[in-house]
Amino acid sequence: MSRYFVSKYAALTPYTPGEQPRGRQYVKLNTNESPFPPSEGVIRAVEAEGHRLNLYSDPECFVLRGRLAARYGVEPDMVMLTNGSDDILNFAFMAFSDEQSPLFFPDITYGFYPVFASLNHIPYTEIPLTDDFSIDPADYAGVNGTVVIANPNAPTGKLLPLDVIEAIVRSNPDHVVIVDEAYIDFGGQSAVSLVPRYDNLLVTQTFSKSRSMAGARLGFCIGQASLIADLNTLRYSTNPYNVNLMTAAAGVAALEDDDYYMGNCRVIMDNRAWTTSALEALGFTVLPSKANFVFAKSDRIGGEELYLRLKEKGVLVRHFKLDRIKEYNRITIGTRAQMECLVDTVKEILKEAAV
Ligand code: PMP
């Protein structure tokens, strides 16, 4: 730390992104990316926009916002687009929580929540998941603060049904409930349908996972126009051009190719079922996932050791050192060939461990 770094950030522990390895070629199952390339239409759109990079992007994202609104059955003023959905989470925490409306989220969830809370000096409470890693909705009823819930949750993959989300939203009428649906397209039911009825509900989603655009950075949120206006006040006070020209065009093209992407999600769901059974047959506990990853622990080898042995053999998964989950690994669901490679490599490791 330099001697110029201001003291209000001195205690900040930044988020640690998953490894993006250089050099060696891994079967990369550590950052929940899609194994499928963007559609041809998206690639063409990016190339075409490349010729116009001398111009600023449209800060209102007019075309994309209209298409997204139509896709999700809401009005354009109920949508805001950002540079990945992380951006929205930061804006939403800034806009809707402070000492009078502190944050509540699970103890095991997306690691960026405590970071954004600390960055913005917002007090927060981590509510423990139950013993089977579920969110108990009763813990969030009338908490008198801003609630953020990833649904499905990460890294567990567990999904709350829509009526449970609705009950949490209804029980906190004076505070915003943020539902982070980064993984909703892999078998969940979105809370977007509730938005017209609740002015305190904000739903965030991303093009990073189900639409193969992690590298383009495109996230969006849907809420009533008043919430979106507040978020835009912060966005226009930070960086109105947060969605670049190529990404906005890629987003429009991706929505035109929605069938391709939703088909890919079905393949991921099939591969998830296959991987779950294959790991269970090897003695693993695999949490029931509705995301593009599974969270699994072996009855024969420790979490960190398995992570390291897999890495040695060229398969990268994500291990978290947090005490409650240190025996688990989060494994992104890729193509069937990638998952077969994972399972074969696990078998090899278990055989070596048994010797
Ligand atoms: N929410 C959750 C639960 C996530 O796992 C991620 C991805 N790391 C994000 C939000 C942010 O994704 P992005 O910024 O790529 O939209």
pLDDT in tens, 237-274: 999 999 999 999 999 999 999 999 999 999 999 999 99
Q: If pLDDT is split at 50, 70 and 90, which confidence band does 333 have?
A: very high
Ligand 1 in contact with 145 (CB < 6 A)? Answer: no
Percent of the chain with pLDDT over 70: 100
In which order are the strands placed within the sheet that holds 328-332? 285-286, 293-297, 328-332
pLDDT value at residue 18:
86
Contact 183, 170 (CB under 8 A): no
85 in ligand 1 pocket by Cβ < 6 Å? yes
pLDDT digits (tens, 9 = 90+) for 96-149: 999 999 999 999 999 999 999 999 999 999 999 999 999 999 999 999 999 999
What phi and psi values does residue 146 have, to the nearest 5 degrees?
-80, 135
Q: What is the pLDDT of residue 354?
A: 80
- Cα-to-centroid distance, 182 and ligand 1 (Å): 6
Query: What CA–CA distance (Å, rounded) separates 330 from 110?
Result: 12
275 CA to centre of ligand 1 in angstroms:
23
Q: Each residue of 59-82: pLDDT tens digit?
A: 999 999 999 999 999 999 999 999
19: pLDDT strictly greater than 90: no
Q: Is the pLDDT score of 348 beyond 70? A: yes
Average pLDDT over residues 214-239: 98
Check: CB of residue 132 under 8 Å from CB of residue 328: no
* Ligand 1 pocket, residue 86 CB under 6 Å: yes
Contact 95 CB / ligand 1 (< 6 Å)? no
> Probe ligand 1: pick from 15, 20, 112, 160, max atoms within 8 Å of CB?
112
- In angstroms, the CA 165 to CA 190 distance is 10
Query: 219 in ligand 1 pocket by Cβ < 6 Å?
Result: yes
Q: Which residues contact 33 (CB under 8 A, 6 or more apart)?
A: 208, 209, 212, 214, 332
Kindly give the distance from the C-alpha atom of residue 213 to the centroid of ligand 1, in angstroms, as a whole number. 12
Residue with the two structure tokens 């063409």 = 44
Give dist(CA 199, CA 226) in Å, integer: 8
pLDDT of residue 355: 65
Does the pLDDT of residue 10 top 70, yes or no? yes
